[in-house]
Structure 1
Amino acid sequence: MQKIIIDTDPGIDDALAILLALAAKDELEVIALTTVNGNVGIDKVTKNALKILEIAGKNVIPVYKGNAKPLMRKSGHCEEYHGDDGLGNLGFGDCCRGDCQKEYAVDFLVRKVKAETGEITLVAIGPLTNVAEAVQRDSEFAQSVKELIIMGGAEYEGNMSPHAEFNFWTDPEAAKIVFSAGFKKVTMVGLEATSYAFLSPALRELLYLINTPVSRFIYEITRVYADGNWNMKRELGCRLCDVLTIVYLLNRDVVKTVDAFVDIETQGLCDGASVVYRTKRYPDKKKNCEIAVKADAKGFFEIFFGYLFPEYLNIVKELLNGKEEV
């Protein structure tokens, strides 16, 4: 059983990542969700986190509200992909009945990680503001975390600029602090790998036909995500970027990684870019993480549907194999 804390800014793919982690109850113990400004503002993402837990029937899991803005700059959001409310403009967060904890998210992270040194994996699927502040707050925090898995960055091509991915672009100073903090084990799951976690129209339609509260929730919130992807790129479907971090926890073989040294640019034309030095090519650079470079798309969706909707796994396999009749 892996103990995890998910630091998140829900966000459509964040929601799916959380639902998958909760469904994998025999492998993952979700201790808490900590929220951070990102896809939308802090109040909205916190309400969304509470609503996701409510939909999953996991209200007992605590939610801690974190940073409302980046460490050193103004906020930047991503409503064109996630909607004004972060969950597809469907009003899910507005009808949330839960409440977050009174303790500040960073205080909780520092306290909990120190109390269970070497036991907690931190899954950061939003901007790294909370994690960076925890590093600044406690010099022992980084070494006390068992493992840090980050959805963020890109080795080659960004999605907010030619070089920068959204989470790092939102708070590059925080990302720079995190990558230089000395965590024992860091995995950066960037855009190269998440391109394989692409929800096709056929698989999305299957979610509608499964017709459970969770499947219909996923189907509905991914509508604006798919629409945004079509409007921006003329692609049918959408990436489930953050979900790949949870899939990686459940089966490391699904994601191929290589050793690297990563630094973050904080100014100029490449502001927010993750500068990746693969240590095999640059042996003078000391490894500070592993970067995900590829993912097994079939393995990804077999895990996603296998945990959330196991009775439909055979149909999913048929669709992934390209068969029209199932």
Structure 2
Amino acid sequence: MSRRLNSSAALNARINGASIERLVFLINFKQKFIQMFKLDFLNSVLMIKQRKILISTDNAATTKFLKFFTLEPDDSLALAVLLDAHKKGRLKIIGITSTFGNTDGNTSYQITKKQIKFSGLNIPVIKGAINSGQNNSKAADFIANKIRESKEKIILVGLGPVTDFAAVFRKYPELKENVDFFIVRSGPYLVKKYWYLFSFNAFKDIESAKFIFQLGGNKFSIGKEIFSITIKNEVVEEIQKIKHSMMKYIARDLKKWNLQNKIFPIKGYFSRKGNMCPWDLIWVMYLVEPNLFKVVKENNHCSLNIKSREIFLESIIKRLKNWDNPK
């Protein structure tokens, strides 16, 4: 009788132990599933619902340094993709603000206005900060008013230093509740502390970058994968064949930019053997084709990882070529 009781107790203990393990597994699985569902759901919403976005850019297309060297054309290409999505009703750009970074703030403003004029779209362009830490630009007031007036949450897209975004939320911290998420450039995640400061845009205004990344709310960013997509001269030639006046305006110096990357060792390293790295164009693709990315939840942001470089590059070229398609 005693043996039977002992055997029964041991069996019950094993069953209970297995039940606890199964329960722990189910709880962990549920948490992971919920997180995956949230990210997949956000991707689905981005694909089917027109979202409102505000863009801050340090656009430097066609700008020359020392009368010969051309400055980074990536912002103009990023804008071209977003403007195409706006034109097709995939998203709604409610305003673009200029900032300093690749060039000075005044030049960025003039270039962006010209690009919008060539696009044929009616989108307001507002002059933003011209130096780090500026808190009183017209752009900051414009952004605050747009966020406040909107019945829907807004996506903030930072293609340059986030000076104007920081100015808004320093003055009106309550407005962060009306922001869906930020999408910006960050540094490599292998840097454990202040990883988000290890990027060109952040270096231009470290305090503002630190403020935005420590601000509550959702943030999507891309780190080391910024170097994984390059545009060869053959692809540049395809882009330069696009006949739309806006594309002709922003693409005319792309070959020269690739040449500079071959001449200068540092540019050659970061842009992969002299091929252009389209920097800002890469992460804005999440807004128009989120399924190209795997979204990984980090501590206080979502990391965007590219699934297939080949498919990603094909999609970029396709969307730029849309400017020759009237539909």
Structure 2 partner of 1:307? 319
SS in structure 1 of the partner of residue 173 of structure 2: coil
Retained in 2: the 8 A contact 1:193–1:255? no
Retained in 2: the 8 A contact 1:121–1:147? yes
Following superposition, the deviation at residue 203 of structure 1 comes to: 0.5
Moved more, 1-10 or 222-231: 222-231
Structure 1 partner of 2:124? 62
Quote the Cα distance in structure 1 between the aligned partners of 2:186 and 2:110: 23
The question of 1:208 aligning with 2:240 is answered yes
Quote the Cα distance in structure 2 between the aligned partners of 1:70 and 1:295: 35
Following superposition, the deviation at residue 133 of structure 1 comes to: 0.8
Of 184, 188, 212 in structure 1, the residue corresponding to residue 221 of structure 2 is 188
Structure 2 partner of 1:14? 75
Retained in 1: the 8 A contact 2:231–2:277? yes
The question of 1:3 aligning with 2:15 is answered no
Following superposition, the deviation at residue 130 of structure 1 comes to: 0.8
Quote the Cα distance in structure 2 between the aligned partners of 1:128 and 1:207: 29
Moved more, 37-46 or 291-300: 291-300
Retained in 2: the 8 A contact 1:207–1:218? no
Q: CA RMSD in A?
A: 2.3
Structure 2 partner of 1:120? 154
The question of 1:104 aligning with 2:165 is answered no
Structure 1 partner of 2:173? 139
Structure 2 partner of 1:82? none
**Higher Cα radius of gyration:** 2
The question of 1:229 aligning with 2:261 is answered yes
**2:128 is aligned with what amino acid?**
G
Retained in 1: the 8 A contact 2:186–2:198? no
Following superposition, the deviation at residue 181 of structure 1 comes to: 1.2
Change (3 A) 1:135 1:169: same
Quote the Cα distance in structure 2 between the aligned partners of 1:219 and 1:156: 34
Structure 2 partner of 1:173? 207
SS in structure 2 of the partner of residue 66 of structure 1: coil
Structure 2 partner of 1:242? 280
Quote the Cα distance in structure 1 between the aligned partners of 2:126 and 2:222: 24
Retained in 2: the 8 A contact 1:199–1:237? yes
Change (3 A) 1:182 1:117: farther
Quote the Cα distance in structure 2 between the aligned partners of 1:296 and 1:172: 32
**Gapped regions of structure 2 (runs ≥ 5):** 1-49, 61-72, 192-196
Structure 2 partner of 1:256? 294
Following superposition, the deviation at residue 39 of structure 1 comes to: 0.8
TM-score, with structure 1 as normaliser: 0.70
- Map 1:37-116 → 2, pairs under 5 A: 37-58=100-121, 60-71=122-133, 104-116=138-150
**2:52 is aligned with what amino acid?**
K
Moved more, 195-204 or 111-120: 111-120
Quote the Cα distance in structure 1 between the aligned partners of 2:201 and 2:307: 20
Change (3 A) 1:171 1:33: same
Q: Percent identity?
A: 25
Change (3 A) 1:298 1:110: same
Change (3 A) 1:219 1:237: farther
**Alignment length (residue pairs):** 249
- Map 1:272-291 → 2, pairs under 5 A: 287-291=299-303
Following superposition, the deviation at residue 218 of structure 1 comes to: 3.9
Change (3 A) 1:306 1:227: same
**Superimposed CA distance per residue, residues 182-201 of structure 1 (whole angstroms, 9 cap, x where no aligned partner):** 02x210123x2222331111
Moved more, 231-240 or 23-32: 231-240
Retained in 1: the 8 A contact 2:51–2:91? yes
Retained in 1: the 8 A contact 2:243–2:324? no
Structure 1 partner of 2:91? 28
SS in structure 1 of the partner of residue 157 of structure 2: strand
Quote the Cα distance in structure 1 between the aligned partners of 2:261 and 2:146: 38
Structure 1 partner of 2:198? 164
Following superposition, the deviation at residue 53 of structure 1 comes to: 0.6
SS in structure 2 of the partner of residue 291 of structure 1: strand
Structure 1 partner of 2:41? none
SS in structure 2 of the partner of residue 148 of structure 1: strand
Retained in 2: the 8 A contact 1:8–1:35? yes
